[in-house]
Structure 1
Amino acid sequence: MSHIETKAHQLMQEAEKKLSSGGFFRNLFTKSSERIEESIEYYMRAANLFKMSKNWSQAGHAFEDAADQCLRNNNEAEAAINYVEAAVCFKKCDVVKAIDLYTKAIELYQERGKFLMAAKIHQNIAELMEDDYDLNEAIQHYEKAADLFKQECNFSSANKCLVKVAEYAALEKDYDKAINIFQEIACFDLASSLMKYSAKQYLFRAAICLLCTDTDFIPKLQTYIDMYPAFENSREYQLIVTLMESIYKGDEESFTEAIRKFDTSCSLSQWHVTMLLRVKNQRMCNRIDLK
C-alpha cells in the first residue's frame, strides 16, 4: 500500500470517528450538522487521494459515503455531485455500481428541477450501455436524455441523442422507428437556414433503412425530394438510386463498386457500412421488384 493510500485510509477512519458518538460534552457543544460536515470533508479528501492512487473502487466508496452524509445534512445539491463523482470512479471497475449511483444522482437532480443535468447523466449511462453492447438499454437512456433535453429547449443535444436512438433501433431491425426519427431530425434541420444542408445526411440514413424493409420505396424517396429538392442532386441520393438498380438487376458487383466509389469521396461510418452490408445480404438473396 502506498503512502497516499495509507493517508486516505486514515482520513476514512477520521470521517467515521466524526460520525460516532463523541461523548456527552462533545455532543453538548458541537452540532450534529457540524460533525457531519467535517466527516464529509474527510471522505472527500480520502476519495481524491484514492483517485490519485487509481484505487477506483475505494475512491468510489469514499465519494458515495460523502454523498450519503450530504443527504443526512439535507444538502441534495452536494449529494448529487458526489454520487456522480462516485459513479465516474466505478465506471472504471464496476459498471453496475456506477449505474446505480448515476440513477441516484438523476433522482436528486429531477427533484430539484435540474433536468439538464439529469439528461446528461442519462446520456452517460447510455454510453456505458454502448460499451457493454446492451443496445436496448442504451436506446432507453438516450430517449430519456432526449426528452429531458427537449424539456429544457436544448434541441441540438436532444437530436444528437435521437440520432443514436435511430442508429441502434436500425441495428436492432426496428426500421420504422429509425426511419421516423431520421425524418423528424431532417425536418428539424430543414427549418433552419444554417442547418438545412445537413438534412441530406438524415434522409440518406432513412433511405438506407427503407432499403432494408418491404416498403414501397419509390414514393417514399420522392417524398424526400419534395421535402428537400437539393437531395436529388446529392451523392447520397445517387448512391441510393444506383443501389436500387443493382438490386433490381441482381448485380452484386455493381452494388459493391458503387459503395466503394462513394466511400472514396465521402467516407462512410461503421453504421453505414453495417447497414449497407445488411441491405446487400437481404436484397440480393431475396430480390424484390423495385419498379
Structure 2
Amino acid sequence: MTHIELKARQLRDEAEKKLNPRGFFKTLFSKTSHRVEESTEYYSRAGNLFKMAKNWSQAGYAFADAADLNLRNSNRVEAAINYVEAANCFKKTDVSRAVEFYLKAIEIYCDKGKFVMGAKYHQAIAELLEDESDGDDAVGHYEKAAELYKQECNFSSANKCLEKIGERAALDGDYHKAVGIFQEIACFDLASSVLRYCAKQYLFRAAICLLCSEADVGAKMATYVDMYPAFEESREYRLVVCLLECVERGDGDRFAAAVRKYDSASKLGQWHAAMLQRARKRIAERPDLR
C-alpha cells in the first residue's frame, strides 16, 4: 500500500469517526450538520487521494459517501457533483456502478432545472454503454440526452446524439428511421451559414441507408439536390449515383471499385464501410441484368 493510499484510508476512517463520535458529551455539544459537513470534506479528500493512487473503486465509494452526506445536509448540487466524481471513477472498474451514480446526478440536475447537465450525463452513460457493446441501452440514453438538449435549444449537441441514434438504427436495419434522422440533421445544418457545408455528409449517410433499402433512391437524390443544390457537385453524390447504377445492373465488381476509389481519397468510417458492404450484398439478391 502506498503512502498516498494509506493517507486516503486514514481520512476515510476519520470521516466515519466525525460522523459517529463516541461519548455522550461529544455528541451533545456538536451539531449534527457540522459533523456531517466535516465528514463530507474528509470523504472528498480521501476520494481525491484514492484517485492519485489509482484505486478507482475506493475513490468511487468515497465520493459516493460524500454525495450521500451532501444530501443529508440538503446540498443537492454538491451531491450531484460528487455522484459524477464517483461515476467517473467507477467507469474504470464497474460500469453498472458508474451508471447508477450518473443516474443519481441526472435526477438531481433535472430536478433543479439544469437539463443540459442531465443531458450531458445521459450522453456519458450512452458512450459508456457503447464501449460495453450494449447498443440498445445506449440508444435509449442518447434519445433522452437529445430530448433534454432540444428542450434547452442546444440543437448542436442534440444532433450529435441523434447521429448516434441514426447510425444504430441503420445497423439494426431500421432504414426508415435512420434516413429520417439524417435528413433532420441535414435540414438543421442547411439553415445555418456556418454548418451548411456539413449537410452533405448527412445527406450522404441518408443515401447510403436508401441504397440498403428498397426505396426509390433516384427520387430521393433529386429531393436532396433540391434541398442543397451544391450536393450534386460533391464526390458523395457522384458515388451514390454510381453505386445505384451498379446495384441496378448487378455489377458487384464495379461497386467495390467505386467504393475503393472514393476511400482512397476520402477515408470511409467504420459505419460507412459496414453499410456500403450491406448495400453491395443486395446485388447478389438481384438477377444479373448485364
Query: Shorter-normalised TM-score: what interval?
Result: over 0.9
Q: Does structure 1 retain, via aligned residues, the 8 Å contact 2:249–2:288?
A: no
Matched residue of 1:192: which SS?
coil
Which residue number in structure 1 is paired with residue 231 of structure 2? 231
Uncovered stretches (5+) of structure 2, i.e. residues with no partner? none
Distance (Å, rounded) in 2 between the aligned partners of 1:63 and 1:288: 63
Which residue number in structure 2 is paired with residue 80 of structure 1? 80
* RMSD of Structure 2 on Structure 1 (CA): 1.4
Question: How many equivalent residue pairs?
Answer: 289
Q: Does structure 2 retain, via aligned residues, the 8 Å contact 1:248–1:289?
A: no
Which residue number in structure 2 is paired with residue 285 of structure 1? 284
Distance (Å, rounded) in 2 between the aligned partners of 1:121 and 1:199: 27
Distance 1:289 1:74, change over 3 A: farther
Distance (Å, rounded) in 2 between the aligned partners of 1:45 and 1:27: 24
Give 2:93's aligned amino acid.
C
Which residue number in structure 1 is paired with residue 144 of structure 2? 144
Distance (Å, rounded) in 1 between the aligned partners of 2:288 and 2:148: 43
Task: Give 1:29 deviation, angstroms.
Answer: 2.5
Q: Which stretches of structure 1, 4 residues or more, deviate above 6 A after TM superposition?
A: none
Which residue number in structure 2 is paired with residue 209 of structure 1? 209
Q: Does structure 2 retain, via aligned residues, the 8 Å contact 1:248–1:288?
A: no
Question: Which whole-Å deviations, capped at 9, do the CAs of 1:88-126 have from their partners, x for residues lacking one?
Answer: 000000000000000000000001011111111001001
Distance (Å, rounded) in 1 between the aligned partners of 2:256 and 2:115: 46
Distance 1:77 1:69, change over 3 A: same
Task: Give 1:288 deviation, angstroms.
Answer: 7.6
Distance (Å, rounded) in 2 between the aligned partners of 1:46 and 1:261: 56
User: TM-score normalised to the size of structure 2?
Assistant: 0.96
Distance (Å, rounded) in 2 between the aligned partners of 1:49 and 1:222: 61
Task: Give 1:216 deviation, angstroms.
Answer: 2.2
Question: Which whole-Å deviations, capped at 9, do the CAs of 1:120-160 have from their partners, x for residues lacking one?
Answer: 10010010011011111111111111111111111111111
Which residue number in structure 1 is paired with residue 128 of structure 2? 128
Which residue number in structure 2 is paired with residue 3 of structure 1? 3
Which residue number in structure 1 is paired with residue 266 of structure 2? 266
Task: Give 1:289 deviation, angstroms.
Answer: 10
Task: Give 1:38 deviation, angstroms.
Answer: 0.5
Give 1:176's aligned amino acid.
H
Give 2:131's aligned amino acid.
D
Distance (Å, rounded) in 1 between the aligned partners of 2:126 and 2:154: 18
Task: Give 1:251 deviation, angstroms.
Answer: 1.3
Matched residue of 1:74: which SS?
coil
Which residue number in structure 2 is paired with residue 118 of structure 1? 118
Task: Give 1:218 deviation, angstroms.
Answer: 1.9
User: TM-score normalised to the size of structure 1?
Assistant: 0.96
Question: Which whole-Å deviations, capped at 9, do the CAs of 1:7-27 have from their partners, x for residues lacking one?
Answer: 111111111111114433223
Q: Percent identity?
A: 64
Task: Give 1:193 deviation, angstroms.
Answer: 1.8
Distance (Å, rounded) in 2 between the aligned partners of 1:169 and 1:129: 16
Matched, 1:89 2:89: yes
Q: Does structure 2 retain, via aligned residues, the 8 Å contact 1:146–1:161?
A: yes
Matched, 1:166 2:159: no
Distance (Å, rounded) in 2 between the aligned partners of 1:93 and 1:13: 23
Matched residue of 1:214: which SS?
coil
Which residue number in structure 2 is paired with residue 255 of structure 1? 255
Matched residue of 1:133: which SS?
coil
